[in-house]
Amino acid sequence: MPTWNSRFKKPLNENALQFSSSIEIDGKLYKEDITGSIAHVKMLVKQKIVSLAEGKKIIKALESIQKEISSGKLKSNWRNEDIHSFIEEELTKRIGETGKKLHTARSRNDQVALDERLYIRKEILTLKKSIVGLQKSLLKIAIKHKGTIIPGYTHLQRAQPIIFAHHLLAYIWMFERDIDRLNDCMKRANKSPLGAAALSGTTLPIDRNFTAKLLGMNGIVENSLDAVSSRDVVVELISICSVIMMNLSRLSEELVLWSSQEFSFAQFDDSFATGSSLMPQKKNPDIAELVRGKTGRVYGALIGILTVMKSLPLAYNRDMQEDKFHLIESVNTTNECLQISIGLLNHTKFNKERFEKELDGNLLLSTELVDYLVRKKIPFREAHNIVGKIVAIAVSKQKKLNEITLEDYKKTSPKFEKDLYNYLTAKSSINNRLSEGSTSYKEVEKQIKFWTQKLA
């Protein structure tokens, strides 16, 4: 029976109770709920609001309840309105009237806000660990392929030669920014809302900072209304998960493309691929496709939580019960996708010899000719125009750039000399990169060294 129903003449309708019950979702936060309750009791004892003996009795029972929930011995059902009420009711069954003192100077409003922040704090650490694991997998492949040349793309058209390691390092940098965002979110999440009570604080002499310190939090949420009515840290974490999933989805898309016969660059291990129920020859990149598809779940969670919060007046409204569904869904999906992506990468081979010879003399080396003319003091736009004519000749004659005669080159510009052919290999293109952070062997080696030390 709900703990709030003493002023009502009728019990809650069965359908209404089932509809409003949130324990299926917030039951996942039982550890956080009990952790917060134990800290709250210790503060009540310190402030002499409950006695030391009562506090010890409550804490011992709470620890027992946590163990039994963890082992599966103690289970709830939909008739329990939420995890907070379930734990408090179980506590009172075990220790009687003393259990009813647990909720002193506290509301479910600040209690659930704390549970969520403790959950967010824990999951940020989990997500960071998973991202580092993915970075290590990417780095391992990058080290193996620091001499492998592939075409770099813009608009999914071949653009310029790059080292495959450089491509993988780009993802490592992307995921590092995700870690930065998680660290930043932690600063805002790791504040205690406990003690805000329902919305306006309490008349009892509590010590909010003491509770925050016990929980390892960096202070309190200063305004009681803000403490119980804001879910910006929930929105923020889901938003970060959306960015992580966007980056994962882009990587997955490339793995799907690279594993196709047209690219013939990536080969998945049989243990990370599936077949067709009709076509015996098929080897499908289902794991990468599923990661790409599950991105929609996390995007949906972000839109869901934003929609829940967009019109709510201060302070707490029951709409906010929905936040935990979106939070847990996004975090679980993101972590699951990070973990499976690590496994997929660790079981994927890449063809070192696939592109290099094919790229020698290829039209994607056209920019090398532009730079060649720029070094001969021809203005960039004019050089671009000249090389465009060379490309037209190559296309019309169905020849590579290194197959066009010097005579044809000189027809477009007298500045062309025999040495131009030295610039028309994929390796020379990469070797000639001078800018910091480029795809040159030197710069890629520098980045690999940096990440090897950082991820050690």
Positions annotated as catalytic residues are 155, 276
Task: Report residue 363 as tokens.
Answer: 């039209």
CA distances from 249 to 12, 231, 241, 253 (A): 45, 27, 12, 6
Q: Are 168 and 140 in contact (CB under 8 A)?
A: no
Q: What angle do CA 164, 167, 172 make, to 5 degrees?
A: 125
Q: Are 327 and 238 in contact (CB under 8 A)?
A: yes
**How far from each other are the two terminal CA atoms of the chain, in whole angstroms?**
54
Q: What angle do CA 19, 23, 28 make, to 5 degrees?
A: 145
Beta strands of 63-221 (E only): which ranges? Answer: 149-154, 157-163
Q: Are 93 and 184 in contact (CB under 8 A)?
A: no
Residue 228, burial from CB neighbour count under 10 angstroms (0-12, 13-18, 19+): buried
Percent helix, strand, coil in the chain, to 5, is 65, 5, 30
Task: Report residue 213 as tokens.
Answer: 């310190």
Relative orientation angle of helices 441-454 and 164-189, to the nearest 10 degrees: 40
> How many residues in total does the chain contain?
456
Q: Are 347 and 269 in contact (CB under 8 A)?
A: yes
To which H or E segment does residue 187 belong?
helix 164-189
Of 227, 231, 220, give the one whose Cα is nearest residue 200. Answer: 227
Task: Report residue 448 as tokens.
Answer: 């690999």
